[in-house]
């Protein structure tokens, strides 16, 4: 798509070497402050974080084995809503393991954070917000939702949403994928977000 310059929302980079996010919120102070003001003004805010589920890694603390998808050899994410594991690559779901498939020990630990975990934490910081998550399995978003935490799957419905402010988290991870197209994909994502958002787009980097 070709975007006219005057159609794009202003983008502002937030250097995380200067503004370290609080561990509980995942938002730097400038972004958290702006989000709070936007919500108080009745605006809708979109937070994009391209990790599904609640946790992104299941690992045995005894032998170090990581539970992976049998098809893709990609670490399973844990989806709290379904209480199941899901492959970020092919989307297949499986029952959550109770014991390590490698050594049989019950020393499994859940690491990392996805949009479900961020939603739960942001609910503590913004009690005035009506929160919702969106990923590729989501069918629709409630019209009441004014703080949406989403993966890049939200791009397919972004034109139908009135979004006043957006924040993009951990964009550097997307630039580090083992994919020669990753830079192009990140650029495309940011351009589409800027074209759909009415106000500013904050990019934590």
Identify the pLDDT of residue 69: 93
| pLDDT per position as a tens digit, 116-169 | 999 999 999 999 999 999 998 888 888 899 999 999 999 999 888 899 999 999
User: Which of 10, 15, 48 lies closest to 194, judged by CA?
Assistant: 10
What are all long-range contacts of 96-100, with beta carbons under 8 Å and residues at least 24 apart? 96/58, 97/58, 97/67, 100/60, 100/62, 100/63, 100/65, 100/67
Q: d(Cα 92, Cα 109) in Å, to the nearest integer?
A: 21
pTM over 0.95? The answer is no
Q: d(Cα 167, Cα 46) in Å, to the nearest integer?
A: 6
DSSP state of 164: S
Identify the pLDDT of residue 176: 79
Identify the pLDDT of residue 4: 59
Mean of pLDDT values over 183-205: 93
| pLDDT per position as a tens digit, 9-62 | 999 999 998 887 766 678 999 999 999 999 999 999 999 999 999 999 999 999
Identify the pLDDT of residue 1: 60
CB 78 within 8 A of CB 55: yes
Q: d(Cα 54, Cα 77) in Å, to the nearest integer?
A: 7
Per DSSP (E only), the strands in 52-200 are 57-60, 77-79, 84-86, 93-95, 108-111, 131-134, 147-150, 165-168
| pLDDT per position as a tens digit, 70-111 | 888 999 999 998 899 999 888 899 999 999 999 988 889 999
Task: List the beta bridge partners of residue 167.
Answer: 47, 202
Q: How confident is the model at residue 174 (pLDDT cuts 50, 70, 90)?
A: confident
DSSP state of 162: -
């Amino acid at each position: 798509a070709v975007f006219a310059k005057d159609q794009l929302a202003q983008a502002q980079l937030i250097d995380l070497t200067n503004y370290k996010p609080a561990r509980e919120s995942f938002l730097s102070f400038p972004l958290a402050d702006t989000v709070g003001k936007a919500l108080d003004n009745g605006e809708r805010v979109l937070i994009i974080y391209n990790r599904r589920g609640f946790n992104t890694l299941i690992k045995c603390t005894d032998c170090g084995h990581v539970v992976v998808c049998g098809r893709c050899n990609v670490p399973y994410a844990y989806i709290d809503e379904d209480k199941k594991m899901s492959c970020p690559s092919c989307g297949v779901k499986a029952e959550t393991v109770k014991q390590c498939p490698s050594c049989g020990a019950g020393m499994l630990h859940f690491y990392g954070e996805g949009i479900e975990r961020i939603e739960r934490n942001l609910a503590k910081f913004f009690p005035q917000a009506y929160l919702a998550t969106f990923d590729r399995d989501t069918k629709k978003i409630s019209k009441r939702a004014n703080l949406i935490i989403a993966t890049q799957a939200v791009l397919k419905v972004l034109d139908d949403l009135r979004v006043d402010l957006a924040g993009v988290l951990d964009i550097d991870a997307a630039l580090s994928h083992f994919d020669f197209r990753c830079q192009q994909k990140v650029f495309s994502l940011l351009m589409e977000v800027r074209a759909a958002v009415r106000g500013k787009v904050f990019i934590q980097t």
